[in-house]
Amino acid sequence: GQNIDQPTEMTATEGAIVQINCTYQTSGFNGLFWYQQHAGEAPTFLSYNVLDGLEEKGRFSSFLSRSKGYSYLLLKELQMKDSASYLCAVRVFMDSNYQLIWGAGTKLIIKP
Amino acid sequence: ETGVTQSPTHLIKTRGQQVTLRCSSQSGHNTVSWYQQALGQGPQFIFQYYREEENGRGNFPPRFSGLQFPNYSSELNVNALELDDSALYLCASSLELGTDTQYFGPGTRLTVL
């Protein structure tokens, strides 16, 4: 089966750095996405990794190791508005089409 | 703003009824995917349409059906509503199959009583 694991909840302090991990066991891997979702709102795209390594985009970076089935999202200089759920999603090629398999999300709480 | 809109925003139905949810994709986006998201969970893939044809389906029963129209709009229909169908329903559009990014609409919150 297809499985994605993320911590349920994390807490960090404003101005600090936090790393949110995601491990996956999937077949037909075709890329990994990170999305941010504020309560009651739609997910918004943060990053995409298809090759091993680090992708940096401003305060956010995402890392992928395909051999380990592992990714992390790194958030620097945390701001209160970063309080949200962070969803890891793996795109797989299955049954002749692409699908996104989603983790349950990590709720990040930022404290002053 | 992603350029993807959904209607209605909220909806209350009773068990056994039927519902139609609507989505308007970004112009030029040929792929639309529909997801069900229960509270505290990640989205669950319902199905995907590409150029007006179903192109993949998740583990949902046939009472979940859809349509995609040439004007980049689409519908999700759910028959014989059950209490467990209460969730946030999200549509997401992308340019083509397998492209990098899906752009989500704001969702429709469906409550089944």
Cβ contact A49:A31 at 8 Å: yes
- Determine the pLDDT at residue B99: 64
Judged by CB atoms closer than 8 Å, whether chains meet at B101 and A42 is answered as no
When the pLDDT of each residue in chain B is averaged and rounded to a whole number, the result is: 92
- Chain A residues close to B10, C-beta within 8 Å: none
Q: Cα–Cα–Cα angle for A29, B62, B65, nearest 5°?
A: 80
Residue (of A14, A6, A8, A5) closest to A82 by Cα position: A14
Which of these, B34, B53, B54, lies nearest to B44 by C-alpha position?
Answer: B34
The answer to whether B90 faces chain A, any CB pair under 8 Å, is: yes
Instruction: Assess B17–A contact: CB distance below 8 Å, yes or no.
Output: no
Interface touch B40/A104, C-beta < 8 Å: yes
Residue B40 above 90 pLDDT? no
Q: What is the 3-state secondary structure (H, E, C) of B32-51?
A: EEEEEECCCCCCEEEEEEEC
Asked if B45 is an interface residue toward chain A (Cβ–Cβ < 8 A), one would say: yes
* 8 Å CB contact of A104 and B55: no
Dihedral sign for Cα atoms in the order B84, B18, A103, A12: negative
DSSP strand pairing (B10-13 vs A29-37) = unpaired
Give the integer Cα–Cα distance in Å for A35 and A41. 12
Q: Three-class SS of residue B107? A: coil
Instruction: Please report residues of B whose CB lies closer than 8 A to that of A87.
Output: 42-43
Q: Which of B81, B85, B97 is nearest to B44 (CA)?
A: B85
Check if B30 contacts A (Cβ < 8 Å): no
Tokens (6 digits) for A61: 């970076």
Size of interface A-B (CB pairs under 8 A): 60
| Facing residue for A42 by CB, picked from B33, B48, B107 | B107
Least-confidence region, from A35-44, A72-81, A90-99: A90-99
Chain A segment 28-87 residues within 8 A of B by beta carbon are: 30-31, 33, 41-45, 48, 87
- Residues β-bridged to residue B68: B74
Model confidence pLDDT, tens digit, residues A9-66: 999 999 999 999 999 999 889 899 999 999 888 899 999 999 999 999 899 999 999 9
B56 with A31: Cβ contact below 8 A: no
Q: What is the pLDDT of residues B92-109, one digit of tens each?
A: 998 877 666 889 999 999
Cβ atoms of A53 and A68 within 8 Å: the answer is: no
A89 chain-B contacts, CB cut-off 8 A: 42-43
Contact assignment for A42 to B40 by CB distance below 8 Å: no
